[in-house]
Structure 1
Amino acid sequence: MSIEHPPAPEAVEEPDRSWLDEPPVVHGTWQSSVERADDVLSPAAVANLHDLLDRAGDPPMAIPVMWHLAAFTPRSPQAELSPDGHPRTGAFLPPMAGRQRMFAGSRVRRRGVLRPGDPLERISRVTSIDVKRGRAGELVFVGVRQLLTGPRGWVCQDDTIVYREPAPLRTPPPAAAEPDPWTRTRIIDAPLLFRYSAITYNAHRIHYDRSYACDVEGYPGLVVHGPLQATLLADLAGRHVPEDLIVDFSFRATAPAFDTADYELTGRPTAGAVELTGRSGGAVTMRATARLKESRD
């Protein structure tokens, strides 16, 4: 009688770490530094995110793309928070006092799997600073790379954060929706935004403090987190394709979304990828691409 053995786990390629040896980024008297941290991917946080997304059944054993944001939540003494609720800049991030913060977009690459309960290591650093001037005044684009590694896989995330001078809000007009085959509508309300802020320990007041969002920063309502929009779009893709095939997920915010309208999600499969669009009040607020394993270079 032959004994069947379980298949050996697929070898996971090593992540690129050469960027850690690059010269520091300099902005005035400030220069970038490498930050290292350890954490455990909390099963409770994964279960909470599973419930937030209204997924059926038990929480997944291997987390879907964007769920790694439940780990490495921000740490800062209460006395060191800025008036907007974010940790004060000037240490890991360049000094940006008096500017409004926006999440512009990100690219997430992942190999292997991360599971609830996994011990994780994170290495982070600012990789670029680009100053531009537009109709809204001076814009500072800050690139941040984070590498999360676990016993069975890793995630590398490149974020672009925009700091702008306070300026009147400009929103794009509604745009006709493409006839995409995959659609889903999410009701956006204060409890949803509060729960996501709690899961990710995001204290930015524009997401849960209506008087601050409207009276101080001039928004028409509570602002939907950029990462939450991206997570909703990734969730739409994961409901139609095997989630373990998504090895590269990139998204770009095109306009803010608010709790004044439902969030409309659409998606369509292409050769080796899924193209996704998020809309709020008829306006396109985010576009994303989920690239599948067979199409990676």
Structure 2
Amino acid sequence: MQNDLSTTHRQSDPIDPARASACLIALDHPSEIDVGTPLPPFFHHLYFWQAMPPGALGRDGHPKVGGIIPDMGLPRRMWAGGRLEFLTPLRAGIAASKTTTVAKAEHKEGRSGPLGFVTLCHEIEQDGAMVLREYQDLVYREDPAPDVAKPTPPQARTDEDFAYTRGFDSTLLFRYSALTFNGHRIHYDLDYAREVEGYDGLVVHGPLLAQLLMLMAEEKLGQLRRFSFRATAPLMHFEEAAFCWGGDGTCWVRGPDGRQCMIAEAGA
């Protein structure tokens, strides 16, 4: 099924420096952010909030589908991955605009049942020039059946040139949800995450994992020009993960049992 792809959403944001500073502190990367300071890659997700009244939210805390995102008839939403082109750094304290269009929306049949795939294209401009372009891949699926085994995740590489390990907790997940205005209950409502969506705990945000990989990649390569990532298995809030650098621009997140949670590729 192919949906109408004509919907466009535009909004602006003053790009408050304090919000970027708060995010860096939450990630344990404190840094001075003033007006005009270039922001780290992917920090545009702290801005352009889509604030909706309670009646316009779905059961999962996200805005109800049927607006720019078509209703795929499937209740569970996951951020599957994305591709980013960084043309010039987004700068703090200078108003920017964001235009979002639906690049693709289609149904497919997977091994676990019907799936809905939506790709959003976000283009951000500042001072009359394009700053970045992002393709955001979302997947929608049915609720898990209680008697069906969970799929076996892929195993992660172990040949990294560099890696560091960090843990997560409900406080960090709550703060990141607040900074990005992400109401998805799998990140802060433990009963909902377990009983409705079938996870073992609170789910670490896919964008948070991607953000940490991007910060690592920027340390290795300098200013990023491109970054792509794909989530392959969820990471729970009680787990530690290894953030791995392959030396050739590849990077990935490895869970405590060796499973691959995310794989990515960066370019400068």
So what's the TM-score if we normalise by structure 2?
Answer: 0.91
CA pair 260-174 structure 1, distance change in 2 beyond 3 A: farther
Higher relative contact order (CA 8 A, sep 6+): 2
Query: Contact (CA 8 Å) 1:38, 1:119: kept in 2 or not?
Result: yes
| CA distance in structure 1 between the partners assigned to 2:107 and 2:142 by the alignment | 12
Gaps of 5+ in 1: 1-24, 293-297
CA pair 174-123 structure 1, distance change in 2 beyond 3 A: closer
| CA distance in structure 2 between the partners assigned to 1:287 and 1:52 by the alignment | 23
- Any idea what SS the aligned residue of 1:68 has? helix
2:98 aligned with 1:122, yes or no? yes
Structure 1 counterpart of 2:142? 165
2:248 aligned with 1:276, yes or no? no
Larger Cα-atom Rg: 1
One-letter amino acid of the structure 1 residue matched with residue 76 of structure 2 = Q
Please report how far the alpha carbon of residue 176 of structure 1 lies from its aligned counterpart in structure 2 after TM superposition.
Answer: 5.7
| CA distance in structure 2 between the partners assigned to 1:57 and 1:126 by the alignment | 35
CA pair 189-37 structure 1, distance change in 2 beyond 3 A: same
Identity %: 35
Structure 2 counterpart of 1:106? 82
Structure 1 counterpart of 2:198? 218
Identify which of 27, 44, 58 aligns with 1:53: 27
| CA distance in structure 2 between the partners assigned to 1:112 and 1:92 by the alignment | 27
Query: Contact (CA 8 Å) 1:113, 1:153: kept in 2 or not?
Result: no
Structure 2 counterpart of 1:82? 58
| CA distance in structure 1 between the partners assigned to 2:197 and 2:40 by the alignment | 33
| CA distance in structure 1 between the partners assigned to 2:156 and 2:231 by the alignment | 18
Identify which of 197, 213, 216 aligns with 2:177: 197
CA pair 234-184 structure 1, distance change in 2 beyond 3 A: same
| CA distance in structure 2 between the partners assigned to 1:148 and 1:174 by the alignment | 34
Gaps of 5+ in 2: none
Residue deviations 1:219-259 (CA, integer Å, cap 9, x gap) = 000011111110011111122232x2x11010011111111
Query: Contact (CA 8 Å) 1:104, 1:160: kept in 2 or not?
Result: yes
- Any idea what SS the aligned residue of 1:196 has? helix
Structure 2 counterpart of 1:33? 7
Please report how far the alpha carbon of residue 173 of structure 1 lies from its aligned counterpart in structure 2 after TM superposition.
Answer: 5.1
CA pair 224-134 structure 1, distance change in 2 beyond 3 A: same
State the 4+ residue runs in structure 1 displaced beyond 4 angstroms: none
Please report how far the alpha carbon of residue 195 of structure 1 lies from its aligned counterpart in structure 2 after TM superposition.
Answer: 0.6
Aligned length: 261
| CA distance in structure 2 between the partners assigned to 1:83 and 1:107 by the alignment | 28
- Any idea what SS the aligned residue of 1:228 has? helix
Residue deviations 1:69-121 (CA, integer Å, cap 9, x gap) = 11112221121111110100011110145510011110011112211111111
| CA distance in structure 2 between the partners assigned to 1:153 and 1:125 by the alignment | 15
One-letter amino acid of the structure 2 residue matched with residue 49 of structure 1 = C
2:17 aligned with 1:43, yes or no? yes
Please report how far the alpha carbon of residue 218 of structure 1 lies from its aligned counterpart in structure 2 after TM superposition.
Answer: 1.0
| CA distance in structure 1 between the partners assigned to 2:114 and 2:28 by the alignment | 40
Query: Contact (CA 8 Å) 1:32, 1:93: kept in 2 or not?
Result: no
